[in-house]
Amino acid sequence: DIQMTQSPSTLSASVGDRVTITCRASQGISSWLAWYQQKPGKAPKFLIYKASILESGVPSRFSGSGSGTEFTLTISSLQPDDFATYSCQQYSSFPTFGQGTKLEIK
């Protein structure tokens, strides 16, 4: 299985901040990477696929980049609704997820 490792596990930030979350794959996955947002007690919400393509309806303050083994999710200016847990997923082979990054209010 391809292992996905996210950092940091927890990130404290304020409204208006620019934040970046990193996801590393244990082997190269080209650009076969997705990002999800999840709030407590809710289902994941699909944000980005193919490392950098925003799903329809996702605000443009979200962006993704990377290829191979290292990827990032950036939120350019945090909004109150963005405080949640973010997970990456590789789909180069059977899907595997990162452990999640909790974005909390500072």
Question: Is residue 64 a contact point for another protein (CB under 8 A)?
Answer: no
CA atoms within 13 A on the CB side of 47: 28
Of 13-21, 38-46, 58-66, 67-75, which segment contacts another protein by CB under 8 A?
A: 38-46
Displacement of CA 9 from its chain's centroid (Å): 12
Q: Which residue in 19, 21, 98, 103 binds another protein (CB under 8 A)?
A: 98
- Give the amino acid at 86: Y
The SS3 of residue 22 is strand
CA distance 40 to 53: 25
Question: Is residue 89 a contact point for another protein (CB under 8 A)?
Answer: yes
Question: Is residue 99 a contact point for another protein (CB under 8 A)?
Answer: yes
Q: How far is the CB of 28 from another protein (least distance, A)?
A: 15
The SS3 of residue 62 is strand
Q: How far is the CB of 34 from another protein (least distance, A)?
A: 4
